[in-house]
Each structure stands twice: as C-alpha cells, then as structure tokens.
Amino acid sequence: MAESDGAATAELSVALSDPAYREAVVDLLAVIAYGELSAFERLVEDAKLAPSLEDRLALAQMAGAELAKVQPLIDRITQLGGDPFASMAPFHEALDEFHAHTAPSDWYEGLVKAYVGDSLTRDFYREIAAYLDADTRDLVVSSVVEGQHAALAADRIRAAIAADPPLGGRLALWGRRIMGEALTQAQRVAAERDALTAFLVGGVDRPGMDLAALGRMFTRLTERHSERMSELGLDA
C-alpha cells in the first residue's frame, strides 16, 4: 500500500509540475463545478413543474446532491493555486446558453433533459478523466456519479409515454435537440480554452488522442446517447 501511495504521489507531482497540465486541470475542474452549480439551479426550477409534491421533493433532494459536489471541486482548484470563481467565469456563457436553448416547457421535457443531457455530460467527463493523474481522476469521477434522478426520470418518462404514445414523438425530437446543443457547446468550450484543447491531445498516463481517437470518443458518446433514448422508449 505504501509503495502504491508513493507512486501515486510521484505521478501527481510530475503531472502538476507541468504548467500547461495544471492550467488544463483547473479549467476542467472549473467547468465541472459550474456545470454542477447550473444543474442545482435547473433542478430547483424544474421542481416547480412537478405534478406532485412527491416529485417536487425528489427533485429538491437531487438539487441538494448536485450542490454538494461543488465544494470539493472548488477546494481542489484552490489547492492548485487557482481562484475558483475566476476560473469558472469563462464557462458561464457557453453553459448558460445551453440551458437557455434547452429550457423545458413542461415536466417531461425537464425529465428528458436531466436524463439525457446530464448523462451525456457525465460520459464526456469520464472519457477525459482517463487522461488525468490519479488524484484528479478520482475527484472527477466522484463528481459525475449518476444521481437518483436518472431512475426517477426513466420511470416517469416510460409511464407517461405508455399512457400517451404521441408524447414519445415530441420527446424524441426534444432529446435530439439536447444532444445537438450539448455537442455544440462542448466543442465551443474546448475551442476557446487553449489549455483544455491541448490537454485533449496529450495526457498523463498515455499519449494524447489524435483526430481519429477524438472522433471515436464522440462516436461512443453518440452511441450511449442512442442507448439511453432507447431505454426511454424514444427514437434517437
């Protein structure tokens, strides 16, 4: 155990001695932190659309769980010498635009967004986490653990479609819109942050992804999106 701990410490020291890597890690943690904060705010708003007090409480509890994930990320950014709030600032516009363009008009659109959109984001960060030092990787993975809302959303959506089949067509279109907006904003964030872009083509544990590898990653994300849509009984 001591030997493995020493190896992990050495890996972390080597990785964080690289200013470019350090900057990319701060960027990554900052965008995740702002995303979790945005998720908290969105769930609070979506709770107002809930058809029952039970559902409203469930979303309020989920919102609290999302907010709880923010502080460890902020603490880590501070440990790395960054200002967490200044670090989150560059991501406000892209993430706020995503939520503005995908604001649900009803309870079921909100559930699809939570199930499909949040899961897509988590998949993306898990893919990137494979290129991080062990300590940062563990923090990122723990920050994107799927919450209870996935099961709640899936159950409610399937039941609603069974009761009202035409609803499925509308929600399928909505799911495709969320996918398109999420990919657009993800590419925008990467393109605007030089350190993050450079990180995607060079990691700690292995060589960075070339264009073909990046393409395969986005193919995997798209396939997982299609699988989730199918689980809901929706066409991707």
User: In angstroms, what CA-CA distances link 136 with 25, 75, 108?
Assistant: 8, 12, 35
Could you read off the pLDDT tens digit of each residue along the chain, which spans 236 residues?
A: 545 444 445 555 555 778 888 888 999 999 999 999 998 998 888 888 899 998 888 888 888 888 999 999 999 999 999 999 999 999 998 889 888 999 899 999 988 988 888 888 888 888 888 878 888 899 998 888 776 667 888 888 999 999 999 999 999 999 999 988 888 887 777 777 777 777 766 544 444 556 677 778 888 888 998 998 998 888 86
| Superfamily for domain range 2-231 | Ferritin, core subunit, four-helix bundle (1.20.1260.10)
Q: In angstroms, rounded to a whole number, what is the distance separating the alpha carbons of residues 52 and 149?
A: 15
Q: HEC states along 164-229? A: CCHHHHHHHHHHHHHHHHHHHHHHHHHHHCHHHHHHHCECCCCECCCHHHHHHHHHHHHHHHHHHH
pLDDT of residue 122: 85
Comparing CA positions, the residue from 174, 69, 81, 86 lying closest to residue 125 is 69
Comparing CA positions, the residue from 183, 215, 67 lying closest to residue 117 is 183
Q: Are 73 and 36 in contact (CB under 8 A)?
A: yes
pLDDT of residue 201: 64
Q: Which two tokens stand for residue 85?
A: 């709030």
- CA 143 remoteness from chain centre: 9
Q: How many CA atoms lie within 13 A of 89 on its CB side?
A: 6
Q: Report pTM.
A: 0.83
pLDDT of residue 117: 83
